[in-house]
Amino acid sequence: MESIKEALKGHFFRWEGRYAMLERRGLHEIRVEEGTVYISFEGTDLKNAIEIVRKSIIRGLRPEPVRMAHMVARACAELRSEGF
């Protein structure tokens, strides 16, 4: 959790709320074909959260919605650096 705290501090101005949320919910380790994924969730139980993550991983370790969000964020950052 300490490395997560340091990462949040480096990326978010108001990191404390995000960290408190992770502390409240906890992190859960899921074994998948390619390795290990850590999740935090709300609104469902652990069994359903694990099923959702496993079904949404197409390749690698990232669930597809997270992979796509990362691609969009990276493209936006590149556009911003080019002055758009």
Domain coordinates in residue numbering, the chain: 2-81
Q: Which long-range contacts (CB under 8 A, 24 or more apart) does 22-31 make?
A: 27/1, 30/54
Model's pTM, two decimal places? 0.69
* Assigned token pair, 80: 């911003």
pLDDT in tens, the chain (84 residues): 888 899 999 988 899 999 999 999 999 999 988 889 899 999 999 999 999 999 999 888 888 988 899 899 999 988 888 877
